[in-house]
Chains A and B, each alone.
Chain A
Amino acid sequence: MSADLAAAQALEGGPLLLGKNDNTSLTKSLLAHVWARPDRGWLLSFLIALSGSGALLLAITITLARGIGTWGNNIPVAWAFDIINFVWWIGIGHAGTLISAILFLFQQQWRTAINRFAEAMTIFAVMCAALFPGLHTGRPWFAYFMFPYPSDLQMWPQFKSPLVWDVFAVSTYFTVSVLFWYVGLIPDLASLRDASQSKVQRTVYGIFSLGWRGSGRHWSNYKVAYLLLAGLSTPLVVSVHTIVSFDFAVSLLPGWHTTIFPPYFVAGAIFSGFAMVMSWLVPARHFLGLKHVVTLRHLEAMNKLILVTGMVVSYGYLMEHFIAWYSGNRYEEFLFFNTRALGPYRGIYWLMMFCNVVTPHLFWFKRMRTSIPVMFVVSILVNVGMWCERFVIIVISLHRDFLPGSWGMYAPTIVDFTLLAGTIGFFSTCFLLFLKFLPAVAVSEVKELNEELHHHPAPVTVVTAA
């Protein structure tokens, strides 16, 4: 190996695939967890997650039966847990699209091992997110009012409102994410169908794989369609959180009326989404036996991106505070330097600052970036921090109204907490089912990558067999 090549390899990081793999062994090892009987760990996690989903159902029922008076929302804090959770969940979803679409367009080969996983996360996170605005309307059975349909009220939606933009953005995002995920799954579903041992499995996977036979004529269209869907998802993911940030930025409230919101929200979304991917990936690669495909190099790359997006978010915080001072607007200055940092909710503000601004800097050190316990803890902290960020933006901005006479406080109720915990349970239920019944790794893409690495090597990527 020449010196240049060695230097290039050092820059590239560790191997993308560990050990000697061929198509047979990859198919076997990557699908093994689907055929294996669920172990106790999975069953226990599933039971916990399922009870979380049950709690969610209960909280939704209470909300529907008794109304949103069961929540802590009030005037002035009319938006609270409902919108915090919505923004938090939808932000988490963004990492999946980023990994699967943007990194695909940039031909980042390391994405292959984790894209399926992250895309599934996107779908479940958007499902959790979409629940909240529906409940927040108070009468979700009229949710169809939000769509443009010819009604005998002779009314159309108000298309100049960011809230209506949100309806289109979130529903488009969900639809496109599902299509992208499913198109990517078809070859792997076929591979599950053909490896099935029982007739039931073969029939079920057979239905979902649509009769895929790996035909060259199919691949020819398939590759183009996948590339185009990736190309579409890339601006889409940026648009979604941009539009979510417009919900705030277009209003006149100090703390919301900020031009930096769109890029700062998108960065925050990716930041929290990557953290959520890590929170799941670290245990999953261990329990599903995926360590040869999801290597330390992948985890390290993810941690680097958490560091980068964390710093973009920090820059957003800095700029918000700077503009509050520089604009000379007394209300904004009061909000940023008094209400947030010193007000009654200062604990949440400082927790946000600690989690989002301080902790990612651990990842400057290679030892931290490659330490499994450290990355797991940091990923949880970032998730907490990003939830706090939305609390800071929404509740803290609202609770100090323009006139001190209309100031108020907000306290969540048990229903609020149950809804939040319940969506986490529902998300986990979906995710555990996904991990059990579908390949957690894009098998056909990994095989293609393996082929490229060994037979058509790119100039930089060199893989040593461990």
Chain B
Amino acid sequence: MSTETGPQGRTYVLGLFASGDALVAACRKVRERGFSDVDTHSPYPLHGGDEALGLKRSVVPKVALGAALTGMFGGMGMMVWMNGLSWPLNVGGRPPVSPLAYVPITFETTVLLTALSIFVGLLILMRLPQPYHAVFELEAFRSAASDGFWLSVAQAPGSDGQEAARALQSLGATQVSVVEESVA
């Protein structure tokens, strides 16, 4: 198929399965058969999908914890420094450093920084936004966002993907396609 010279994209083998459960089962088996770069595509998260893909626990909570601590100490520190040290502010004779009065804003900065980090961290972990991905070379793949349960197996550039295609077929895929990543 690809006889021209120059850089070559990876090959993706896409298989459509009848249900989420069938997809999870097939995903587990295809990984047992030695295909490593496997992904599921479904309109909603699948029961047991993480285990079938062999994913570790998400690191999002750790990102959130780090941000929460930064927001907490940063917020409190900001107010202690600004109203207590940089320009000691006497309001109604209260001490310039009044940690109790700083609690509400400390809480808000904690939440704000945590939420922003979760969002940015999530995008970085998912490597989104991503303008192009090879799976969209197949028009039928677009059903993954509505009702399709797809399994994708990525293969090294130059592979014809036939081995993986046969594997998906034998695991009950109702439709199997091979697409090639386009390299600009």
Contacts and interface: CB of A to CB of B under 8 A. Distances in A.
Interface of A: 22-24, 27, 148, 154-162, 164-165, 168-169, 171-172, 175-176, 179-180, 182-183, 187, 190-191, 193-195, 207, 210-225, 228-229, 232, 235-236, 239, 243, 246, 444-445, 447-448, 451, 455-456
B83 A159 contact: yes
Q: Give chain A's interface secondary structure class.
A: helix
Contact of A156 (B89, B115, B146): B89
Contacts of B132: 211
B27 interface: yes
A221 B104 CA distance: 30
Contact of B135 (A24, A213, A217, A225): A213
Contact of A220 (B53, B91, B104, B107): B53
A191 B143 CA distance: 8
A219 B46 contact: yes
A232 B40 contact: no
Interface in B32-90: 39-47, 49-50, 52-53, 55, 58-61, 64, 78-79, 82-83, 86-87, 89
B122 A159 contact: no
B100 to A, nearest CB: 9
B147 A148 contact: no
A175 B46 contact: no
Contacts, number: 196
Contacts of A210: 123, 128-130
Interface in B146-165: 146-147, 150
Contacts of B150: 214
A232 B113 CA distance: 11
B143 to A, nearest CB: 7
Contact of A224 (B47, B58, B135, B136): B58
Interface size class of B (residues with CB under 8 A): 35 or more
B125 A232 contact: no
A222 B43 CA distance: 13
A264 to B, nearest CB: 18
A123 B133 CA distance: 32
A213 B126 CA distance: 10
A223 B47 CA distance: 12
B83 A158 contact: yes
A160 B98 contact: yes
10 contacts: A24-B146, A155-B87, A158-B91, A160-B83, A160-B101, A165-B105, A213-B136, A223-B45, A239-B104, A246-B104
B7 to A, nearest CB: 21
